[in-house]
Amino acid sequence: MEIPYTVSARRDTGLFNSKVGIWLFLASEVMLFGGLFSGYVFLRAGVRPGVDLPWPDAVYVHGPFIWLGFLNTLVLIASSVFVVLAWAQLKMRRYGMYQFYMSLVLVCAAGFMVVKTIEYNSKLNHHFGARLSDGTLLDGALVADDSHHCPGDYVTFEADKAVFSLARTGIFRKLDPYFLDFAVLKGGEEMVVNAPGGKQLKGVAELSAWLEEYAAQNPREARVTAGFAKPVTFQFRRKDVFGKRVFPDRVPLFRGNELQGKLIDDTVEIEVHTVDLQMVRDEEKSLAWAYLGEGYKAGYEGHKKEKLNDPLHRRFLEKGGTLPGGQLRIWQHPHPAGEHGGEKAAAGGHGEASAAHGSSDGHGGHGAPVVSIKGSDIHFMGAHGPKFGTYYAIYFTMTALHGLHVVGGALVLAYFLFFGRKLYRKNPEHLANRVEVGGLFWHFVDLVWIFLFPIMYLM
Amino acid sequence: MESSTEDLQKHVRTYLMVGATLFVFTIVTVLVRTVPFFDFGVPGVDAPDIAFGLVIATFKSSLVMLIFMHLNHERGLIYKVLVFTVAFAISLMGLTLFAQGNPIRPHADVIEHLHVSDVTAADVESKAPGAKAEPAKH
Amino acid sequence: MSATEASHSEAHDHHDGHDHHELSFWQKYVFSTDHKVIGIQYGITSLIFLAIGFFLMMVMRWSIAYPDRPLPMVGDWPFFNKWIGEDGLVTGDLYNMFGAMHGTIMVFLGVVPLAFGAFGNYVTPLQIGAPDMAFPRLNMASYWFYLLGGVLMFISFFLDSGAAKAGWTNYSPLANITDQQYRDLFWTSQTQWLMAMVFLITSSLLGAVNFITTIINLRAKGMTWMRLPFFCWAQLVTGFLLLLAFPPLEVAAVMQLMDRLAGTSFFIPTGLHVGGNMVDAAGGGSPLLYQHLFWFLGHPEVYVLILPGIGIVAEIVANNTRKPLWGYKTMVGAVMVLGFLSFIVWAHHMYLTGMGTAISTFFQTTTVLISIPSVILITSILLSMWGGSIRFTMPMLWATAFIPMFGIGGLTGLPLAFNYLDLHLHDTYYVIGHFHYVVAPGTIFALFAGIYYWYPKQTGRQMNSFLGHLHFWPSLLCMNLIFAPMFIQGMAGMHRRAFDGGAAYEQISSQVYLEQGHPLAVLFNAIFRGGADLPVEVINLNLLTSAGAFLLALAQVPFVINFFLSMFRGAKSDERNPWQGTTLEWMCPTPPPHGNFDREPVAYRGPYEYSVPGEERDFTPQFEPDTRVTEARPLPSLH
Ligand code: HEM
Ligand SMILES: [Cu+2]
User: What is the pLDDT at residue C616?
Assistant: 84
- The answer to whether the CB atoms of B127 and C271 lie below 8 A apart is yes
Specify the DSSP element, H or E, that contains A455: none
Report the C-alpha gap between A432 and A425 in whole angstroms. Answer: 12
Pocket lining: C169 vs ligand 1, CB cutoff 6 Å? yes
Would the CB of C417 count as within 6 Å of ligand 1? yes
The pLDDT tens digits of the residues spanning C625-639 come to 876 554 445 555 544
Is the model's pLDDT at C1 over the cut of 60? no
Q: Is residue C328 part of a domain?
A: no
Tell me if C349 CB under 6 Å of ligand 1: yes
Torsion of the alpha carbons at C119, C123, C125 and C127, rounded to the nearest 10? -140
Mention every residue, 6+ apart, whose C-beta is less than 8 A from residue A308: A314, A317, A328
Q: C71-80, C87-96, C118-127: which has the minimum mean pLDDT? A: C71-80
Residues 252..271 of A with a Cβ closer than 8 Å to B: which? none
Residue contact B84–C340, C-beta within 8 A: yes
User: What distance in Å separates the CA atoms of residue B38 and residue B33, rounded to the nearest whole number?
Assistant: 8
Q: How far is CA C346 from CA B18, B84, C272, C365, C564, in A?
A: 40, 17, 27, 12, 41
Per-residue pLDDT, C521: 62
Which of C302, C304, C338, C350 best tests ligand 1's pocket when mutated (most atoms within 8 Å of CB)?
C302
Banded model confidence at residue C617, pLDDT cuts 50, 70, 90: confident
Query: pLDDT grade, residue C89 (50/70/90)?
Result: confident
In angstroms, what CA-CA distances link A326 with A307, B8, B43, C60? Answer: 12, 53, 12, 53
- Sign for the CA dihedral angle at C3, C9, C12, C13 comes to positive
Cα-to-centroid distance, C436 and ligand 1 (Å): 9
Q: CB distance A387–C180 less than 8 Å?
A: no
* Main-chain phi, psi angles of B25, to 5 degrees: -70, -30
Cα angle at C266 between C262 and C271, to 5 degrees? 100
User: Burial code of A115-126, b = ≥16 C-beta within 10 A, e = fewer?
Assistant: bbeebeebbbeb
What is the 8-class DSSP label of residue C162? -
Nearest to C568 by CA among C468, C464, C471: C464
Distance CA C143, CA C334 (A): 30
Identify the pLDDT of residue C525: 60
CB neighbour list of residue C79: distance below 8 Å, 6 or more residues apart: A171, C157, C158
C507, pLDDT greater than 60: no
Would the CB atoms of C285 and A390 count as touching at under 8 Å? yes
Chain segment A218-260, per-residue pLDDT in tens? 877 888 888 888 888 888 888 888 888 888 999 988 888 889 9
Instruction: Examine the pLDDT at A299 and tell me if it is beyond 60.
Output: yes
Ligand nearest to the CA of C434: 1
Please write the tens of the pLDDT for every residue from B95-132: 999 999 988 876 666 655 554 434 444 444 444 333 33
Task: Label the pairing between strands A378-383 and A370-373.
Answer: unpaired
For a pocket test of ligand 1, which of C416, C487, C494 has the largest count of ligand atoms closer than 8 A to its C-beta? Answer: C416
C-alpha C419/C-alpha C425 separation (Å) is 9
Confidence of residue C310 (pLDDT cuts 50, 70, 90): very high
Mean pLDDT, residues C163-167 taken together: 92
Residue C288 contacts B where some CB pair is shorter than 8 Å: yes
Ligand 1 neighbour C339 (Cβ under 6 A): no
Q: Where is average pLDDT lowest: A343-352, B95-104, C318-327?
A: A343-352
Running DSSP on this structure, what letter comes out for residue B71? Answer: G
Q: Which chain B residues are closer than 8 Å to C1 by Cβ? A: 1, 3
**C415: CATH:** 1.20.210.10
- Whether C457 is in a domain gets the answer yes
DSSP classification of residue C599: S
% pLDDT > 90, chain A: 35
- Identify the bridge partners of residue C495 per DSSP, sorted by sequence position: C428
Domain ranges of chain B: 5-126
CA distances to A432, C58, C95, C107, C504 from C500, rounded to whole Å, are: 64, 14, 9, 24, 7
pLDDT digits (tens, 9 = 90+) for C539-563: 788 889 999 999 999 999 999 999 9
Contact at 8 Å (CB) between A303 and A276? no
CB–CB of C354 and B130 under 8 A? no
* pLDDT category of residue C6 using cuts at 50, 70 and 90: very low
Taking the CA of residue C417 as reference, the ligand 1 atom at the shortest distance is 10
C94-140 tens-digit pLDDT: 899 999 999 999 999 999 999 999 999 999 999 999 999 999 999 99
Of C387, C396, C373, which is closest to residue C445 (Cα–Cα)?
A: C396
User: Is residue C460 included in any domain, yes or no?
Assistant: yes
Question: Does any ligand 1 atom lie closer than 6 A to the CB of residue C306?
Answer: yes
- The angle subtended at Cα B74 by Cα B70 and Cα B77, nearest 5°, is 140
Q: Which residue has the higher pLDDT, A411 or A189?
A: A411
Question: Can you tell me the mean pLDDT for C25-32?
Answer: 82
A338: region left, alpha or beta (phi > 0 left; psi from -120 to 50 alpha): left
C-alpha Rg value of chain A to the nearest Å? 29
In terms of average pLDDT, the best of A202-211, B108-117, C328-337 is: C328-337
Is residue A51 very low, low, confident or very high in pLDDT (cuts 50, 70, 90)? confident
Contact (CB<8Å) C247/A31: yes
Q: Cβ separation of B104 and C354 shorter than 8 Å?
A: yes
Instruction: Decide whether any atom of ligand 1 lies within 6 Å of the C374 Cβ.
Output: yes
Max Cα–Cα distance, chain C, nearest Å: 86
Residue A155's pLDDT band (cuts 50, 70, 90): confident
Query: Does B135 contact C289 at a Cβ distance shorter than 8 Å?
Result: no
Q: Which long-range contacts (CB under 8 A, 24 or more apart) does C413-422 make?
A: C413/C371, C413/C438, C414/C368, C414/C371, C416/C348, C417/C348, C417/C364, C417/C367, C417/C368, C417/C371, C418/C364, C418/C368, C419/C348, C419/C351, C419/C360, C419/C364, C422/C348, C422/C351, C422/C352
Q: Is the pLDDT of residue C183 over 70?
A: yes
Pocket test for ligand 1, best of C348, C353, C486 (most atoms within 8 A of CB): C348
Q: Is A42 on the interface with B (CB under 8 A)?
A: yes
> What integer pLDDT is reported at residue C139 of this predicted model?
96
Cα-based distances in Å from C298 to A321, C110, C356: 44, 16, 21
Q: Is the peptide bond before C173 cis (omega within 30 degrees of 0)?
A: yes
Packing angle of the helix pair C534-555, C465-491 (nearest 10 deg): 160
Non-local (6+) Cβ contacts of C487 within 8 A are: C412, C429, C430, C433, C434
Q: What is the pLDDT of residue C518?
A: 62
Cα dist. A274→A128, A292, C200 in Å? 11, 11, 45
Residue C41 has pLDDT above 60, yes or no: yes
Cα separation, A17 vs A21, whole angstroms: 6
The pLDDT mean for chain C works out to 88
> Has residue C237 got a pLDDT over 80?
yes
| Beta bridge pairs of residue A380 | A131
Q: Positive or negative, the Cα torsion across C140, C129, C243, A398?
A: positive
C448 Cβ neighbours under 8 A, 6+ residues apart? C398, C471, C472, C475, C559
Query: Looking at per-residue confidence, does C466 or A59 come out higher?
Result: C466
Output the pLDDT for position A54: 82
Q: What ipTM, to 2 d.p.?
A: 0.91
Report if residue C410 sits inside a domain: yes
Task: Give the integer Cα–Cα distance in Å for C19 and C313.
Answer: 39
Mean pLDDT of C283-306: 95
- CATH fold for domain A17-125+389-458: Four Helix Bundle (Hemerythrin (Met), subunit A) (1.20.120)
Res. A15: pLDDT tops 60? yes
Q: Quick check: bond before C591 cis, omega within 30?
A: yes
Classified as helix, coil or strand, A272 is strand
Cα dihedral sign, A119-A123-A127-A131: positive
Question: Using CB atoms within 10 A of its CB, is residue C564 exposed (0-12), middle (13-18) or buried (19+)?
Answer: exposed
Look at residue A314 in the predicted model and tell me its pLDDT: 74
- Residues facing A175 on adjacent strands: A168
Percent of chain A with pLDDT over 70: 84
Distances (CA, A) of A396 to A119, A384, C256: 11, 10, 14
Overall number of domains in chain C = 1
Residue B17: the pLDDT is 95
CB burial string A269-295: b at 16+ within 10 A, e below: bbbbbbbbbbbbeebeebbbbbbbbeb
Ligand 1 contacts CB of residue C212 (under 6 A): no
More confident residue, C391 or A285: C391
pLDDT of residue C74: 78
Is the pLDDT at A346 greater than 70? The verdict is: no
Span A204-224, average pLDDT: 83
Close Cβ partners of C102 (under 8 Å, ≥ 6 residues apart):
C53, C56, C57, C60, C168
Q: Which residue has the higher pLDDT, C38 or A378?
A: C38
CB contact under 8 A, B102 and C270: no
What confidence tens digit (pLDDT) does each residue in A88-134 have?
Answer: 999 999 999 999 999 999 999 999 999 999 999 988 888 888 999 88
Q: Could you give the residue ranges of the DSSP H alpha helices within C9-34?
A: 25
With a 6 A CB cut-off, is C207 part of the ligand 1 pocket?
no
- C-alpha–C-alpha distance, residues C295 and C301, integer Å: 9
The SS3 of residue A166 is: coil
C418-430 tens-digit pLDDT: 998 999 899 999 9
Domain that holds residue C522: 395-567
Q: Locate the ligand 1 atom nearest the alpha carbon of residue C375 and give its number.
A: 1
3-state secondary structure of B46: coil
CA dihedral A170, A176, A181, A187 (to 10 degrees): 140
Show the CA angle centred on residue A82, arms to residues A105 and C6, nearest 5°.
110
Helix axis angle, C357-385 relative to C287-321, nearest 10°?
10
**Rounded Cα distance, C638 and A13, in Å:** 9
pLDDT at residue C352 in the model = 92
Q: Which atom of ligand 1 lies nearest, measured to the CA of C306?
A: 30
For C372-417, the pLDDT digits (tens) are: 999 999 999 999 999 888 999 999 999 999 999 999 999 999 999 9
With a 6 Å cutoff on the Cβ, whether C461 touches ligand 1 is no
Q: Do the domain assignments include residue C501?
A: yes
> Which of A52-56, B42-46, C34-38, C401-405 is the least confident region?
B42-46
Average pLDDT, chain A: 82
- Cβ within 8 Å of A, B 41-100: 41-46, 49-50, 53-54, 56-57, 60-61, 64-65, 68-69, 75, 77-78, 81-82, 85-86, 88-90, 92-93, 96-97, 100
Q: Compute CA distances C23 → A6, A18, C16, C17, whole Å.
A: 23, 26, 18, 16
Quote the CA–CA distance of A184 and A330 in Å, as a whole number. 45
Residue nearest to atom 42 of ligand 1 (CA): C435
Please tell me the distance from the alpha carbon of residue C599 to that of residue C613, in angstroms, as a whole number: 28
Quote the percentage of chain C above a pLDDT of 90.
68
Q: Are A238 and A246 in contact (CB under 8 A)?
A: yes
Residues of chain B with pLDDT under 70: 1-3, 40-44, 106-138
Residue C333 has pLDDT above 60, yes or no: yes
Residues 6 or more apart whose CB falls under 8 angstroms from that of C295 comprise C346, C347, C349, C350
User: In this predicted structure, which of A37-46, C19-28, C589-598 has the lowest mean pLDDT?
Assistant: C19-28
Q: Higher model confidence: residue A154 or residue C312?
A: C312
